[in-house]
């Protein structure tokens, strides 16, 4: 009898070949198979008549086997049966499944589920799933599959793997917690989630599993937070930063002042700050970062600001120079695009402490970069970095204060999870005088009008972005290719307008040149891929035209829109797409309805689901297998409180009563090594 942690091959019915298929979808052990939860269920409880089953749709029908036809052995083995009910008949076909063919008995009735093929005169149901009418389990699981696996196979294997639960204990929450929160035990939950007898069964099972998953996750995060509180870093005593505000080219918003104050309060303490700065695109997060760098400088410490792209590094470098150089603070740039000599110079100034601020890309975390006295680590556009990269930069100082900046507003619920180990400051106010960007969605027949509109605005001193999803020619749609599209526009509509091309495969100096010309206003229209997505700031840019808008996610569209509307003029975001799928429409509707990043984020979460919202790689957290952040908000809150109280009482889960929880945390975080549970 297999154990929960035993290899998938120990489950009866799982051959070497099948194990390889399971491997493709990340299933290696019996336990993995059991936590490969169904994505939904086929409801066998209300079958329809054969006559009412529509060709091209999935249907559940109740029918008797009228006769078995002679098998046909061609490229594959084809087994056909004739099924009938009172008013109709349908052919049932199995490919390569003598097993199912043999299981069906002539003259007996079954309930079948499958896609209806053929035509109205002769319908066909191919490789259906079926149960007998007296089967008490009327809900059959549907799984995420890969070619070669079917729902039938996975559910049969899952049934066998349930034996694993009986053989070796799967780890469960302590009895006291299950009692307090009325949760069923994990064994029953696993059985019921795969084979619920009723919707009620399913709900009970799911609640138990979601609760467990969210509790363990939040225990892990609460442990990190508790550990962090025990570290000792550099306390930076109170200093006056009025000179910084005096030198700013604008009046800070109240939200900016509040965020700076919250961070400064943290930085005065020995416990390192561990904070997230959240704010919609254009809310002015860079100025907050610069104020803190100045504060650290006054305390005798260096600041490292890491950003994901060279373009952004260059931009921040210039901004920091503008804000800080007049105050006597030296900022240096360190990116992969610099010449060897330039890099060497930056590194030596960072090491000697002559540079108080280092702005750069991943070059900052390379082994050659050493800091004299790193006291503050800031990562901008946090969602682009893994936790690992952030901790590498942090390790260059002696428990420095850390601030992570995210321009992707995160729904509160998700923020608690992804940034559960951080405190949060929010910029909930836009600088004064900004007009909301007007957003429209049009089809490609509008292109000429759009070009005329761009030419008109450019004539009035404006600038425009045209974003395409791909770099080079794509057969499907050549407008999708920035290179081709640029070439075409130069020769036609925009021949009289200074237009440039920007994409990720260009060499760095080239990119810098293009960007500099666009920022200075020498170039008026920038045709580009999404390299401009992150953080780029050009106040005169008033048009954002997005081609093939259906290719972008909602948050990405919102990010792109954030590139305009930064100055005093009315800005426009125009989504161009001929795609009318409901999913595209849901995104374009959300974009035209609101410019509020938090609302967009909520909508995005609903559309994409939490697993997708931030790829696991990006935040380094374990993947959640069953919990759904928008649906399970209540359990999320319950478990958050519980996790906090457990960790407050036993920060390292060392008491014997918490040993089980500790093991569960280690198990969940086993692939997130940055969290240090193993």
Q: Please report, as ranges, the residues that interact with ligand ADP according to CB under 6 A.
A: 250-253, 256, 279, 281-287, 407, 431, 535, 537, 539, 566
CA distance readout (Å), 470 to 112, 356, 478, 552: 44, 39, 9, 11
Q: Which is nearer to ligand ADP, 337 or 597 (CB)?
A: 597
Contact indicator for 322, 349 with CB cutoff of 8 Å: no
What stretches of 380-421 adopt beta strand conformation (E)?
401-406
Nearer to ligand ADP, 256 or 595 (CB): 256
Shortest Å distance, C-beta 380 to Mg ion: 6
Taking the complex as a whole, the smallest distance from the CB of residue 621 to Mg ion amounts, in Å, to 23
279 binds, among ligand ADP, Mg ion, none (CB under 5 to 8 A by kind): ligand ADP
Q: Are strands 525-528 and 463-467 parallel, antiparallel or unpaired?
A: parallel
Using CB distances below 5 to 8 A depending on partner kind, what does residue 281 bind out of ligand ADP, Mg ion, none?
ligand ADP
Q: Which does 253 bind (CB under 5 to 8 A by kind): Mg ion, ligand ADP, none?
A: ligand ADP
Closest CA to 400 of 263, 206, 279: 263
Nearest to 234 by CA among 94, 32, 12, 401: 401
Task: Residue 86: name the closest of 106, 69, 61 by CA.
Answer: 61
SS3 410: coil
CB 70 within 8 A of CB 41: no
Output DSSP code: residue 362: G
250 binds, among Mg ion, ligand ADP, none (CB under 5 to 8 A by kind): ligand ADP
The rounded distance, in Å, linking the Cα atoms of 332 and 342 is 10
Estimate to the nearest angstrom the gap between the alpha carbon of 251 and the chain centroid: 35
Backbone phi, psi, residue 381, to 5°:
50, 55
Does residue 597 bind Mg ion (CB under 5 A)?
no
Residue 58 binds: one of ligand ADP, Mg ion, none (C-beta under 5 to 8 A by kind): none
Alpha carbon distance 505, 485 (integer Å): 16
Q: How far apart are CB 325 and ligand ADP at their closest, in Å?
A: 16
The window from 176-184, 344-352, 463-471, 531-539 that contacts Mg ion (CB under 5 A) reads 531-539
Instruction: Candidates 34-42, 188-196, 229-237, 528-536: pick the segment binding Mg ion (CB under 5 A).
Output: 528-536
Q: Which residue's CB is nearer to ligand ADP, number 65 or number 407?
A: 407
The answer to whether 439 and 561 have CB atoms below 8 angstroms apart is yes
Smallest distance, ligand ADP to C-beta of residue 411, A: 19
- Give the residue closest to ligand ADP by C-beta: 284
Residue 283 or residue 584: which is nearer to ligand ADP going by CB?
A: 283
CB of 517 to ligand ADP, least distance (A): 18
Shortest gap between Cβ of 303 and ligand ADP (angstroms)? 16
From the list ligand ADP, Mg ion, none, partner contacted by residue 400 (C-beta under 5 to 8 A by kind): none
From the list Mg ion, ligand ADP, none, partner contacted by residue 109 (C-beta under 5 to 8 A by kind): none
First to last CA, the chain: 29
Which C-beta is closer to Mg ion: that of 10 or that of 571?
Answer: 571
Sheet holding 572-576, edge to edge: 438-442, 572-576, 541-546, 463-467, 525-528, 499-502
- Residue 529, contacted partner among ligand ADP, Mg ion, none, CB below 5-8 A by kind: none
**Nearest distance from residue 255's CB to ligand ADP, in Å?**
9
Q: Is the Cβ of residue 208 or residue 282 nearer to ligand ADP in the bound state? A: 282
Out of 128, 170, 535, 610, the residue judged to bind Mg ion by CB under 5 A: 535
Question: Angle of helix 633-649 relative to helix 199-230, nearest 10 degrees?
Answer: 40
Cβ closest to Mg ion, residue 462 vs residue 535: 535
Closest distance to ligand ADP from the beta carbon of 203 (Å): 42
Q: Which one of Mg ion, ligand ADP, none is in contact with 456 (Cβ closer than 5 to 8 A by kind)? A: none
Report the residue number, 250 or 583, with the smaller CB distance to ligand ADP: 250
CA gap 151, 135 in Å, rounded: 17
The span of 3-11, 94-102, 180-188, 527-535 binding Mg ion (CB under 5 A) equals 527-535
- For ligand ADP, the closer of residues 17 and 432 by Cβ is 432
Nearer of residues 202 and 244 to ligand ADP, judged by Cβ: 244
Q: Which C-beta is closer to ligand ADP: that of 193 or that of 312?
A: 312
What is the full DSSP assignment across 253-297?
PHHHHHHHHHHHHHHTSSSPPEEEEEE-TTS-HHHHHHHHHHHHH
Stretch that binds Mg ion, among 322-330, 345-353, 532-540, 609-617 (CB under 5 A): 532-540
Closer to ligand ADP by CB, 28 or 434: give it: 434
Q: Which does 252 bind (CB under 5 to 8 A by kind): Mg ion, ligand ADP, none?
A: ligand ADP
Q: Which stretch binds Mg ion (CB under 5 A): 78-86, 198-206, 446-454, 529-537?
A: 529-537
420/535 with CB nearer Mg ion: 535
Angle at 32 between CA 419 and CA 36, to 5 degrees: 75
125 strand-pairing partners: 92, 116
State how far the Cα of 472 lies from the Cα of 485, in Å rounded to an integer. Answer: 9
Pairing of strands 331-334, 77-84: unpaired
Length of the chain: 678
Q: What is the DSSP string of 615-676?
A: -HHHH-PPPPSS--TTTTHHHHHHHHHHHHHHHHH-TT--SGGGHHHHHHHHHHTTT-GGG-
**Shortest separation between residue 283's beta carbon and ligand ADP, angstroms:** 4
Cβ proximity to ligand ADP, 253 vs 346, nearer residue: 253
In the bound state, the residue with its beta carbon closest to Mg ion is 535
CB of 236 to ligand ADP, least distance (A): 23
| CB of residue 543 to Mg ion, shortest distance in Å | 20
CA 549/CA 443 separation, integer angstroms: 10
Phi then psi dihedrals of residue 206, to 5 deg: -65, -45
Please, what is the minimum distance in Å from the beta carbon of residue 243 to Mg ion? 23
Smallest gap from Cβ 12 to ligand ADP, in A, equals 57
Q: How far is the CB of 286 from Mg ion (least distance, A)?
A: 5
Q: What is the phi/psi pair of residue 615, to 5°?
A: -60, 150
HSE-CB for 313 with a 13 A CA cutoff? 25
Binding-site partner at residue 406 among ligand ADP, Mg ion, none, CB < 5 to 8 Å by type? none
- Give the span between the Cα atoms of 520 and 622, in whole angstroms: 44
Q: Point out which residues bind Mg ion (CB under 5 A).
A: 535
């Amino acid at each position: 009898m297999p154990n929960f942690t035993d290899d998938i091959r120990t489950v009866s019915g799982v051959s070497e070949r099948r194990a390889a298929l399971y491997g493709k979808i990340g299933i290696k052990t019996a336990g993995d198979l059991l936590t490969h939860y169904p994505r939904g269920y086929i409801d066998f409880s209300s079958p329809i008549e054969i006559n009412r089953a529509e060709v091209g749709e999935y249907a559940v029908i109740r029918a008797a086997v009228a006769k078995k036809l002679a098998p046909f052995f061609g490229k594959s083995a084809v087994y056909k049966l004739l099924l009938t009910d009172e008013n109709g008949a349908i052919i049932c076909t199995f490919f390569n499944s003598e097993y199912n063919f043999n299981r069906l008995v002539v003259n007996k009735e079954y309930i079948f589920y499958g896609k209806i093929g053929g035509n109205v005169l002769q319908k066909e149901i191919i490789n259906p799933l079926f149960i007998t009418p007296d089967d008490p389990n009327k809900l059959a699981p549907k799984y995420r599959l890969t070619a070669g696996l079917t729902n039938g196979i996975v559910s049969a294997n899952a049934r066998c793997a349930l034996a694993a639960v009986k053989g070796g204990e799967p780890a469960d929450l302590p009895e006291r917690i299950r009692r307090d929160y009325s949760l069923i035990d994990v064994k029953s939950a696993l059985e019921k989630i795969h084979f619920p007898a009723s919707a009620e069964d399913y709900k009970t099972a799911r609640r138990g599993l979601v609760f467990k998953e969210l509790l363990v996750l939040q225990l892990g995060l609460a442990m990190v937070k508790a550990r962090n509180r025990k570290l000792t870093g550099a306390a930076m005593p109170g200093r006056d930063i009025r000179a910084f505000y005096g030198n700013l080219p604008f009046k800070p918003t109240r939200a900016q002042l509040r965020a700076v104050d919250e961070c400064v309060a943290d930085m005065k303490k020995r416990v390192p700050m561990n904070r997230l700065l959240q704010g919609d695109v254009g809310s002015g997060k860079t100025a907050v970062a610069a104020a803190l760098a100045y504060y650290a400088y006054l305390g005798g410490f260096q600041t490292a600001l890491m950003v994901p792209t060279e373009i952004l590094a260059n931009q921040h470098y210039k901004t920091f120079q503008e804000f800080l150089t007049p105050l006597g603070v030296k900022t240096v740039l360190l990116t992969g695009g610099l010449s060897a000599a330039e890099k060497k110079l930056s590194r030596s100034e960072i090491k000697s402490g002559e540079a108080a601020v280092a702005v750069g890309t991943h070059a900052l975390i390379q082994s050659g970069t050493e800091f004299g006295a790193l006291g503050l680590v800031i990562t901008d556009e946090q969602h682009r970095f893994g936790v690992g990269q952030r901790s590498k930069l942090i390790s260059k100082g002696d428990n420095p204060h850390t601030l992570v900046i995210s321009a992707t507003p995160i729904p509160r619920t998700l923020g608690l999870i992804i940034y559960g180990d951080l405190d949060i400051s929010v910029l909930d106010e836009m600088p004064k005088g900004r007009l909301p960007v007007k957003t429209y969605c049009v089809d490609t027949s509008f292109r000429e009008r759009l070009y005329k509109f761009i030419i008109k605005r450019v004539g009035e001193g404006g600038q425009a972005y045209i974003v395409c999803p791909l770099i080079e020619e794509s057969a499907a749609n050549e407008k999708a290719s920035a290179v081709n599209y640029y070439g075409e526009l130069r020769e036609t509509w925009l021949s009289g307008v200074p237009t440039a091309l920007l994409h990720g495969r260009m060499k760095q100096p080239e990119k810098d040149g293009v960007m500099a010309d666009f920022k200075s206003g020498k170039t008026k229209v920038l045709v580009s891929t999404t390299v401009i997505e992150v953080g780029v700031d050009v106040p005169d840019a008033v048009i954002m035209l997005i081609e093939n808008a259906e290719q972008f996610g909602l948050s990405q569209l919102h990010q792109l829109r954030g590139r305009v509307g930064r100055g005093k003029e009315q800005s426009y975001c125009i989504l161009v797409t001929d795609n009318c799928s409901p999913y595209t429409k849901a995104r374009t509707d959300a974009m035209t309805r609101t410019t509020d990043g938090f609302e967009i984020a909520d909508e995005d979460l609903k559309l994409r689901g939490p697993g997708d919202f931030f790829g696991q790689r990006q935040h380094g957290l374990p993947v959640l297998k069953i919990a759904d952040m928008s649906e399970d908000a209540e359990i999320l809150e319950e478990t958050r409180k519980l996790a906090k109280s457990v960790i407050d009482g036993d920060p390292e889960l060392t008491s014997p009563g918490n040993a089980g929880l500790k093991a569960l945390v280690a198990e969940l975080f086993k692939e997130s090594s940055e969290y240090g549970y193993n």
